[in-house]
Structure 1
Amino acid sequence: MAGTKKKQQKTKTSKRPYIIGFWTLFGIGLLAVVLIFLMAGWGAFGKMPNFEELENPETNLATEIFSSDGETLGKYYSENRTPIKYDDLPDHLVEALVATEDERFYKHAGIDAKGTIRAAVYLGTRGGASTITQQLSKLLFTEQVSNNPFARILQKVKEWIIATRLERQYTKEEIITMYFNKYDFVYQAVGIRSASKIYFGKEAKDLNIEESAVLVAMLKNAALYNPVRRPELVKQRRNQVFVQMHKNGYLSEQEKNSLQKLPLNLDFSPEGHDEGMATYFRVYLQGFMKDWIEKNPKPDGTEYSLYSDGLKIYTSIDSKMQQYAETAVEKHISHLQKEFDRQNKNNKTAPFRDLDQGQINSIVRSAMQRSVRWREMKDQGKSEEDILASFDKETEMRVFSWDGIKDTIMTPKDSIFYYKGFLQAGLMSMRPQTGEVKAWVGGTNFKHFKYDHVKQGKRQVGSTFKPFVYATAIDQLKLSPCDMMPKNRFTIEQGKYGNTKDWSPENANGEYDGMISLKNALAQSINTVTARLIDKTGPEPVIDLVKKLGVDTENFSTGPAIALGTEDMSLFEMVSAYSTFVNEGVYVKPVIVNRIEDKNGTVLYQHVPQTRDVLNKEAAYVTVNLLEGVTQYGSGARLRGTYAKEFDHYKRGVTGYPYDFKNPIAGKTGTTQNQSDGWFMGMVPNLVTGVWVGAEDRAVHFPGITYGQGATMALPIWGMYMKDLYADEELDVSQEAFPKPDNLSIATDCEQYNQENQSQTDSVPDELDF
């Protein structure tokens, strides 16, 4: 017995060092782990977020642009993220997330112990251990995943620490919301709201359960599980999300089986800066915002960021009107282009006309020097000779066409000729009483044609300038639309208004005999009558009026020829000027932004209207009355259902002719020299819309007046646009008569006027005595 006891005592003694050693090592390991966590928390292994950063995690938020009817027009961003509230997340989206990514989300405090042990034992083969909160901590505060095992362990430690801090700082609902708002779903879809819009064309709150499952499926790896590039793989992953939802009691077996049979049904709509609605307007708005930001710093003195501060810009644009405008431009120009190309088939200098080879070479050389190719090669130190040679080398390229993007092979120089041959258009629509710009179409395709023909471009306005001459004469001389004037030739002698030679305009219709009323003279664009009027008023009062109407007249000539629209003006200027006539002579500065808010909804800017009196009510109304004649029996009469037979093959059933409008419409067409520019300015009591059509270069134009006039180039766009507006009753576009001033002293009813002045009309002199 004594020997046995000694043996047992010896065995215990011999094992004691191992036991002590084990617990010592265990204690050291435990202390080491604790120390690692403490050091990580102190920031020894890299910066850790402090309390303030946890309270307000730094997140780049896109600035969102809203239409006046509450639709999103676009965004400015470095990351396309627009925050969303938990209440706007559908229940099935949250359930899909929890069931798939973190089944015990509501039971842990940031770290899932059971999942961690399982992942450690099975080395991750039976699922990871990363909770939603850990994933959020990685998105918010930790760097990219490292390939170094030790660094990866330290990174995981930091994620755990941040996750526990997040759990203490935020509710479960707030963590889910931040996670959805932060995740990058690729294709510039950062956050669930952007992803919902880009992949399904709807707000997150409107997602159905299968759409929610697709987005949750992408959370595993958005680049890999990309529904646009790998639809079948994403469908498999989506169906696994349904399995997880069934497993966790969110779906019945029958619901799961039924949902798994559904297709993906994407409505993919990228939100790049070149895509979407009102692209040209958004570029102009970008400049407006940059100017505003420079003049309006934050309370702390720093500048707002247009791309990351989550500003909200509430614009004057109406999304429906904008869409109708873009549709009208695209429909008409795509068809007009076919006729333009047909007429250029036998043009040896196509697309140019009236130019010699030297002039053409100069235009092409200038286009080369403005190109990205020239700039990049210049920056690379290439010689001008090498750069020019590169423009003659064939290369693969994708080019715009009205039948879709085409893959082709051509030289860069040939591509310049190709793009020069496209017709362009601009449209702007504005409420004359408020100045609110409701539609802005700066061109035909922003991705391929960046130049804005609303504000940036200025072109000769032709006969659309004549109403300014008539308005000046009415204001000065109290003329009536019924007053008669001779059509015969008229000359303003050299030097009278600084003109260097005699000026004798010709009438486009070649008629010079007889008398004509002012209303008919404007309707038929009789140049000799306009010349007589500006001779009576002088050019300076006309220029002064135009300046008061918001037009930059600094470079205007002071000669009488301005009466026929020889000066360049922008569509923006033309629409705001014409709006003054409708608004009883009161000019209202155009409005594009009604309000700006910060990300918290604090109002930073509220528009204040800017107005000034320019014309008296009578003169403004009589000018509008004159312009009504254009659509009654002038070049705009086809809006009433009247159109020339030569247009039958082109108009009927294609661009909506005849339009057959019955309501009062005032307007004016304009056609410039060699048919380079076609204009139509159209007005109803609560909406003024201007349209311009032409090519980038004035030497690119129709060879004749049949298709090269404003009534053919521009008016059809206005007609189609207005037809769509009237068909949409929610838009409340007026069909009423223009408001008439009380006690109007100038006669506008010519039938009554002629009866009352019959004796005078029977013996009209060659020229009225003003």
Structure 2
Amino acid sequence: MGPRQRQRRFRAKTHIAPIIIGSFFGFMLLAGVAFGVGMIGVVETWLQDLPDYTDTDLYLPSEPTTILDADGNKIASFYTQNRTTVDLDQISKYVVDGTVATEDERFYEHGGIDLMGILRAVAVQLTGGSEGASTITQQLVRNTILSDEQFDVTLERKVREAYLAIKMEEIYSKDQILNMYLNVINYGHGAYGIEAASNVYFSKSAKDLTLAEAALLVGLPNAPSQYDPTVNPDYALSRRNTVLDRMLSNGYITQEEHDAAQAEPIVLNLSETSGTGVDIYNYPYFVDYVRNLLSNEFDYNQIFSGGLTVQTTIKPDVQAAAEAAVIDQLDAVGVENLQAGMTVIDNKTGAIVGMVGGRDYYADSEHTNHAITQRQTGSSFKAFTLATAIHEGMNPNIIINCNSPQTFDDGTYTVQNIGNAQYGYISLARATELSSNTGYVQIAKAVGVQNVIDMCHELGIDNDMDPNSSLTLGTEELSTLQMAEAFSTFASGGMHRDAIAITKITNRDGEVIYEHKDEPERVLETGEAEVVTDILEGVVSNGTAMTAQLSVNQPFAGKTGTTENYGDLWFCGYTPQYSVAVWTGFTAGGSNTIYIGGRTASTSDLPQPIARNFFNTILDGVEREEFPTGTTPSYRADSYWEVDGKPLTGGSATTAETPETEEEEAPTTTSPNSPTSPTSPTTSEPEPDPEPEEPPATTDPEPAA
């Protein structure tokens, strides 16, 4: 899973010391020191505590983690060193030959150190010149198992390096050593290894490099900054031609090839890299989310150096439709600084197939992902109270007093419908369509607020919640991801699946180290989920979400939500294929009312059309599916239910009047049992009525408790 940090230590054998001393005869001449018998003990000491050169993990180069979308397209890379490891047969022979000719022309002849090279380097240095004497094997040692010592210029480090080079040559073939070297070395511009360098400078694979291109890259490791062709093209050209000269003199190329390559100008085709250790090609909000998930399971080195391949769930077509729906609607209303978050979940798998975190990732220095930030949900939360009621055995046809205002908790808590609408005595189903605040507080109290909380937990919402009477009106802060996951349970016939973003992870060797297993858990019986869905379909067909009605031939259910001051606008909806949750508002918080053209905005202006347009796009031409069906639940007698010691039901069913405004509102302070409750117990929770088929520009049929 990435280079292990294991460092097995061992003691060198005494008989090796004379070999090292002999190999460094050139250094002895330069220093003027005659190594005698006493020096053997010093060298033995230097060779103590060496890393285990037989541990192949120590030679593994830092390799980026690659993030793929659901179709296998690369969408991001995480790295400390931009690198892609390749086998020797995937590297141009020009690179291989040029590297040997330039860096170590007797590579295939020596056993790890080159005595002739050392003597030549000494001679050059004595005449005032400069020439290195390290072999390719020594350079590999210096850049891998002795990387912590690579800038140490002492004789001790050179002895340790030479010793390890000799031992490496005993256990690895020349091709293995050369392959490791070409995958490790720094080529500048943040590119480590020849494959990354080829992509950075020429946007092509190392196997496709021409002679001139290969020679340019071969010349870079000697001094990557000095020979950088983007900064010092003249130096780079001179260095490239030196490489070509050495390839010619060593018989790797012909005179004709040499001359033709030297005549070529340097032509680069640079690829873009961020230089930050993270290259994001698509879906930046989702990529950030995936990186955070990985950090919960892997350490930094594994993520940025371990060469993982991460298969994610994001689907390009779904993501494109989601992004277009969000951006187009935000642009259409033209409200400055207005943001949105949206999550799309595949109901059959729990996969996050779309995630929109905001209007523009790169324009926001904080990169706030509004798909996963939590905001008050308004009346969209009522769907969870509804599910609890059906699960506990409440008949959806039970008649409830939904007039306004009403007082609860011994007179300490007063609730109003939006516009103080008098909905009269209506069924639970109709109270949901109209999003009656007074009705839903009674329902929550009748089934037990703690049971509502337990249902939320079963649906995947793990927030700690206070069992206040106002909870059902949407005072709890949740994310679009949490809401989409929960609503997906209804769409799946009561089977809950955790929302997933990663399906498989493989290590650098291609071994699968994680693979998601589909393990759904039943939360609602199929018949119970069917009833919930039937009622939420009514919200779309004859309630607060009529703006969201689809043009495609698919069943559609959902719930709207609006918070206090109309600062957070929600719509959560689902078809048999996908569940979505859409939030719109300002980053600063829900206290900022959204105005469009001088009027207060509603869900019919923003989240409803976003969801509608998304579904109409992604399901265009898709054959109709149906929601799962099951056995009708068994219901308790209506007389079973009580609120504050009084019967829940009473009176005769009446026809609810339509309020002047259709949007509901959730107060910031709601219950005297809450630590934030006001000294005055009265709170007002305006709630909407279904908007007309052609909703007026100034209204929206949605609640927001």
Is 1:590 aligned to residue 499 of structure 2?
Answer: yes
Pick which of 540-549 and 716-725 moved more.
Answer: 716-725
Could you tell me which of 379, 385, 408 is aligned with 1:494? 408
The 5 Å alignment of 1:114-513 reads: 119=121, 123=125, 130-140=134-144, 141=146, 143-145=149-151, 151=154, 159-186=161-188, 188-192=190-194, 195=197, 215-226=217-228, 229-230=231-232, 234=236, 237=239, 248-249=252-253, 253=257, 256-257=260-261, 260-261=264-265, 263-270=267-274, 272=276, 275-276=279-280, 288=293, 292=297, 306=302, 310=306, 312=308, 314-318=310-314, 320=316, 324=320, 327-328=323-324, 331=327, 335=331, 339-341=334-336, 422-442=337-357, 444-445=360-361, 448-455=365-372, 457-476=373-392, 489-495=403-409, 500-506=412-418
Q: 1:738 aligns with which of 616, 626, 646?
A: 626
CA deviation after TM superposition for structure 1 residue 739, in Å: 3.4
What is aligned with 2:677? none
- TM-fit CA distance, 1:495: 1.8
What residue is the counterpart of 2:579 in the other structure?
688
Describe the shift of the 1:624–1:35 C-alpha distance in structure 2 as closer, same or farther (beyond 3 A).
farther
SS at match of 1:218: coil
Other-structure match for 1:709:
602
The Cα of 1:89 is off from its aligned counterpart by 3.6
Asked whether the 8 Å contact 2:375–2:476 carries over to 1, the reply is yes
* 1:104–1:627 Cα change, 3 Å: farther
Distance 1:173 1:274, change over 3 A: closer
Letter paired with 2:468: T
Letter in 2 for 1:166: M
Secondary structure of the equivalent of 1:689? strand
1:766 to 654, 662, 672: 654
Aligned to 1:400: none
Conserved 8 A contact 1:676-1:695: yes
Aligned to 1:410: none
Counterparts of 2:389 and 2:552, CA distance in 1: 30
State the secondary structure of the residue aligned to 1:694: strand
How far off is 1:159 after superposition?
4.6
Output the amino acid matched with 1:270: S
| TM-superposed deviation, 1:673 | 1.9
145 and 557 in structure 1: CA distance in 2 versus 1, 3 angstrom threshold: closer
Please give the per-residue CA displacement for 1:287-327, whole angstroms capped at 9, x wherever unaligned.
Answer: 6556546xxxxxxxxx9964677273645433636963895
Please give the alpha-carbon distance, in whole angstroms, between the structure 2 residues aligned to 1:181 and 1:192.
6
When the two structures are aligned, how many residues end up with a matched partner?
Answer: 601
Q: Deviation string for 1:417-459 (max 9, x for gaps)? A: xxxxx4444333333333333444555537721554444x321
Among candidates 474, 495, 504, match of residue 565 of structure 1: 474
TM-score, normalization by structure 1: 0.63
Say which SS state the counterpart of residue 576 (structure 1) adopts.
helix
* Residue 618, structure 1, aligned to residue 510, structure 2: no
Gaps of 5+ in 1: 1-24, 294-302, 342-421, 642-659, 747-763
Give the direction of change, closer, same or farther, for the CA distance of 1:58–1:177 in structure 2 (3 Å limit).
Answer: closer
Q: CA RMSD in A?
A: 5.1
The DSSP-based 3-state class of the residue aligned with 1:739 is coil
CA drift at 1:519:
7.4
Larger relative contact order (Cα-Cα within 8 Å, sequence gap ≥ 6): 2
Call closer, same or farther: CA 1:601–1:688 in 2, change over 3 Å.
same
Query: Equivalent residue of 1:502, what SS?
Result: strand
Deviation string, structure 1 residues 457-494 (Cα, Å, up to 9, x no partner): 321111322322333444456767xx798997344432
TM-superposed CA distance for 1:136, in Å, is 1.8
Inter-CA distance 291–223: structure 2 relative to 1 (3 Å threshold): same
Question: 1:184 touches 1:190 (CA, 8 Å); kept in 2?
Answer: yes
Change (3 A) 1:291 1:623: same
Work out the CA distance in 2 between the residues paired with 1:563 and 1:527. 9
CA–CA distance in structure 1, aligned partners of residues 216 and 493 of structure 2: 56
Taking the aligned partners of 2:98 and 2:321, their CA distance within structure 1 comes to 41
Question: In the alignment, is the contact (CA less than 8 A) between 1:73 and 1:319 conserved in 2?
Answer: no
Distance 2:48 2:356 in 1: 49
TM-score (norm 2): 0.68
* 1:149-182: CA deviation from partner (whole Å, max 9, x where unpaired): xx4x775565554433333322222212221332
Contact 1:586/1:612, CA 8 A, preserved across alignment: yes
Q: Which amino acid aligns with 1:675?
A: Y
Equivalent pair of 1:217/1:241 in contact (CA under 8 Å): yes
Instruction: Confirm or deny: 8 A CA contact 2:84 2:195 kept in the other structure.
Output: yes
How has the CA–CA distance of structure 1 residues 272 and 329 changed in structure 2, closer, same or farther, with 3 Å as cutoff? farther
Cα distance in 2 between the residues matched to 1:186 and 1:145: 17
Aligned mates of 1:180, 1:463 — CA distance in 2: 60
- Structure 2 stretches lacking a partner, 5+ long: 1-24, 635-651, 657-705
State the distance in 1 between where 2:210 and 2:556 align: 46
Distance 1:635 1:200 in 2: 57
The offset of 1:574, in angstroms, is 1.1
